[in-house]
């Protein structure tokens, strides 16, 4: 590891992806993540890899699909409206069992919305978004450093499970600069394509075929069951979360991404006032850490979920808590980032209510 460098989130993820062995970027510009393709456009030719600006997000995701079919580490990045355009491709990628990484630097919606930071694509990312019974692994960093770290994990998990991994960031994480430390380069020069990759028949007896089509319902059901079996394994093994000051907590805040970093300060502020509150922060929002919430429900008086959306993760928090304790919610919409003071004030109101 080298010294820390000051970098924008949108640039840091690009550098991290390159070091993690990403061989190709396909994408289409959209604020607030234009610095990512810009960075890739400069760096990818320097390291002899592919940067291609497609004519649209629809084209870009299908280029990603194609590259993924060869087992190549490939990425695209976009922001909310662009990600909506890619949903058909995501669904095809899911049923084709091919690995890729997608970063969504979320902005205010719905529709064209605005370009300010938001978390309103949580449902879209964690519950599917495209058609069919599918999931993507979804990671949600809360600092630029964690984004850099999780890019490595994202490529590893994508390869391991042959599936799409989404990184949910927001405009704030994309635009802000923080000091980051990069990891060692992943060796790619001598990397052999996986045996399922469509890279020519070679010595194989039969051709590899990758498709999301199975016209016979009996056949498709088998494919669907296999997909669900894969998701079961992911749920079993890949849940990640962080607990902050939860050991003696009487109350738990739940938050992901940017809001979680703000919530850590809320916890510190409340602790200074003698209020025993902690934070449960999902790092993977799919698979979601339901179990920890169920456990902590035996300990805390209530949960307080904070998001920059109308309460999308709230549903998952409630599923985890399973009715054992009240779950309250506070959120801002439209691209507004809540301040620690404002969150603490709302939290204290709930303390009054719950007395």
Partner 1 sequence: MEKKVVISGFGGQGIMLAGELLAEAGKEEGKNVTFLPSYGPEMRGGTAYCDVIVSDKPIASPVIAHPEAAIIMNLPSLTKFEPLMQENGLIILNKTIIPEDVSRDDLKVCEIDAQAIANELGNEKVANLILLAAYAEIEKTVSIETLKKALRVLLTGRKEKLISINEKAIDTGARLARDFISSLS
Q: 326-332: long-range contacts (C-beta < 8 A, 24 or more apart)?
A: 326/302, 326/354, 327/302, 327/303, 328/302, 328/303, 328/304, 328/353, 329/304, 329/305, 330/304, 330/305, 330/306, 331/306, 331/307, 332/308
Compare residues 77 and 258 and give the one whose CB is closer to partner 1.
258
Compare residues 143 and 198 and give the one whose CB is closer to partner 1.
143
Give the shortest CB-12-to-partner 1 separation in angstroms. 13
313 contributes a contact to partner 1 by CB under 8 A: no
Give the shortest CB-255-to-partner 1 separation in angstroms. 11
Candidates 190-198, 246-254, 317-325, 334-342: pick the segment binding partner 1 (CB under 8 A): 334-342
Determine the Cα angle at 65 with ends 59 and 68, to 5°. 140
Binders of partner 1 among residues 33 to 92 (CB under 8 A) are none
Q: Which two tokens stand for residue 334?
A: 């439209």
Beta strands in 148-298 (DSSP E): 164-170, 177-180, 241-244, 251-254, 277-282, 284-286
Give the shortest CB-143-to-partner 1 separation in angstroms. 8
Q: Which two tokens stand for residue 307?
A: 């998001």
Fill in the per-residue mask, 185 to 214: x = in contact with partner 1 (CB under 8 A), - = not in contact.
Answer: ------------------------------
Give the shortest CB-265-to-partner 1 separation in angstroms. 3
State phi, psi for 39 to the nearest 5 degrees: -65, -45
115 contributes a contact to partner 1 by CB under 8 A: yes
333 contributes a contact to partner 1 by CB under 8 A: no
265 contributes a contact to partner 1 by CB under 8 A: yes
The residue from 41, 340, 346, 351 that contacts partner 1 (CB under 8 A) is 340
Strands 5-8 and 177-180: antiparallel
Q: Which residues contact 341 (CB under 8 A, 6 or more apart)?
A: 269
Compare residues 319 and 336 and give the one whose CB is closer to partner 1.
336
337 contributes a contact to partner 1 by CB under 8 A: yes
Instruction: Determine which helix (DSSP H) or strand (DSSP E) holds 331, and give its type and residue range.
Output: strand 327-331
The residue written with tokens 């990640």 in the block is 240
The residue from 148, 262, 297, 313 that contacts partner 1 (CB under 8 A) is 262
Can you tell me the distance from the alpha carbon of 90 to that of 68, in angstroms, rounded to the nearest whole number?
A: 12
172 contributes a contact to partner 1 by CB under 8 A: yes
Q: Name the site residues for partner 1 (rule: CB under 8 A).
A: 4, 6, 31-32, 115-116, 171-172, 175-179, 258, 261-266, 268, 337-340
């Amino acid at each position: 590891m080298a010294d820390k460098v000051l970098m924008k989130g949108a640039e840091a993820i690009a550098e991290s992806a390159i070091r993690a062995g990403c061989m190709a970027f396909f994408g289409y510009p959209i604020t607030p993540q234009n610095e990512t393709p810009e960075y890739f456009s400069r760096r990818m030719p320097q390291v002899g890899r592919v940067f291609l600006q497609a004519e649209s997000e629809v084209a870009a995701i299908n280029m990603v699909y194609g590259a993924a079919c060869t087992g190549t580490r490939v990425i695209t990045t976009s922001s909310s409206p662009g990600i909506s355009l890619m949903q058909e491709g995501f669904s095809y990628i899911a049923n084709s069992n091919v690995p890729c990484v997608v970063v969504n630097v979320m902005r205010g919606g719905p529709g064209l919305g605005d370009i300010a930071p938001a978390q309103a694509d949580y449902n879209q990312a964690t519950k599917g978004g495209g058609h069919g019974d599918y999931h993507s692994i979804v990671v949600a960093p809360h600092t630029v450093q964690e984004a850099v770290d999780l890019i490595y994990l994202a490529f590893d998990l994508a390869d391991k499970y042959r599936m799409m991994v989404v990184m949910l960031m927001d405009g704030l994480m994309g635009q802000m600069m923080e000091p980051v430390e990069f990891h060692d380069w992943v060796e790619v020069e001598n990397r052999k394509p996986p045996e399922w990759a469509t890279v020519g028949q070679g010595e194989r007896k039969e051709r590899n075929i990758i498709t999301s089509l199975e016209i016979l319902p009996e056949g498709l059901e088998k494919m669907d069951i296999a997909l669900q079996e894969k998701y079961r394994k992911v749920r079993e093994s890949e849940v990640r979360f962080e607990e902050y000051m939860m050991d003696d907590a009487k109350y738990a805040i739940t938050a992901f991404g940017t809001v979680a970093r703000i919530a850590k300060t809320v916890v510190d502020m409340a602790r200074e006032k003698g209020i025993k509150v902690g934070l449960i922060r999902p790092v993977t929002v799919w698979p979601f850490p339901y179990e920890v919430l169920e456990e902590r429900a035996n300990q805390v008086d209530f949960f307080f979920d904070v998001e920059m959306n109308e309460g999308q993760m709230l549903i998952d928090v409630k599923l985890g808590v399973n009715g054992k304790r009240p779950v309250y919610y506070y959120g801002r919409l439209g691209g507004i980032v809540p301040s620690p003071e404002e969150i603490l004030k709302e939290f204290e109101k709930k303390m009054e209510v719950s007395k």
